[in-house]
């Protein structure tokens, strides 16, 4: 019986080694303009209304981020995305400073971590809603991300989007007297392993 248990334990470890593969990849993009042109990205979009009349949209990108995941058989497990708050860039220094300091409290909470809580099927061309936990401003917030996968040049591509609200993430409203910022943030991403 002892030998049988030892066999299954050894077989289980070998199966994980052969079929499971942990992957970590870092993305380093120099500037906002480079991020805008990059084929792999994390992007966030928001609206701002000035004087209650003129609404404009603005984009931001995460310039440096890391992705880790376990690829096992036909699924991706334990997908995590991490980045430093100061790597979020909207191409306007004053807006960046306000975002980093007032909204995201960079001095006390310098990193953001997103952890996908469910398995993601590989070669899935349809968007699937996956629960994620985002650690932001020292709190864990749960929301859903729509994600799909496909293979491109022998790599697995992860592509998706989410709509979240600043208020649901516990982020203070960045609006000022002459300009109000929408509560809604549209997030999109595209990266490969």
Q: Give per-residue pLDDT as tens, 104-115.
A: 999 999 999 999
Q: Give per-residue pLDDT as tens, 115-138.
A: 999 999 988 889 999 999 999 999
pLDDT score recorded for residue 179: 84
Burial of 11 (0-12, 13-18, 19+ CB in 10 A): exposed
DSSP 40: S
Angle at 68 between CA 66 and CA 73, to 5 degrees: 150
- pLDDT level of residue 13 (50, 70, 90 thresholds): very low
What are 36's two structure tokens?
């805008």
Spatial separation of the C-alpha atoms in residues 79 and 119, rounded to whole Å: 8
Q: Is the model's pTM score more than 0.75?
A: yes
Q: How many residues does the chain have?
A: 193
One CATH from 1.20.1250.20, 1.10.150.120, 3.30.1490.100, 2.40.128.110 for 21-192: 2.40.128.110
**Torsion angles phi and psi, residue 150, rounded to 5:** -160, 165
């Amino acid at each position: 019986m002892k030998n049988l248990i030892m066999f299954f334990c050894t077989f289980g470890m070998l199966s994980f080694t052969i079929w499971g593969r942990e992957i970590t990849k870092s993305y380093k993009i120099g500037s906002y303009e480079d991020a805008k042109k990059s084929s792999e990205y994390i992007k966030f979009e928001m609206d701002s209304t000035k004087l209650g009349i003129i609404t404009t949209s603005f984009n931001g990108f995460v310039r440096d981020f890391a992705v880790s995941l376990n690829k096992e058989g036909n699924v991706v497990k334990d997908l995590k995305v991490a980045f430093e708050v100061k790597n979020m860039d909207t191409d306007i220094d004053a807006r960046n400073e306000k975002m980093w300091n007032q909204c995201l409290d960079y001095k006390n909470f310098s990193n953001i971590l997103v952890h996908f809580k469910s398995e993601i099927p590989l070669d899935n061309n349809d968007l699937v809603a996956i629960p994620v936990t985002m650690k932001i401003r020292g709190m864990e917030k749960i929301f859903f991300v729509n994600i799909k996968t496909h293979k491109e040049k022998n790599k697995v591509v992860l592509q998706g989007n989410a709509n979240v609200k600043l208020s649901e993430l516990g982020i203070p409203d960045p609006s000022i007297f002459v300009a109000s910022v929408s509560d809604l943030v549209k997030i999109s991403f595209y990266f490969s392993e």
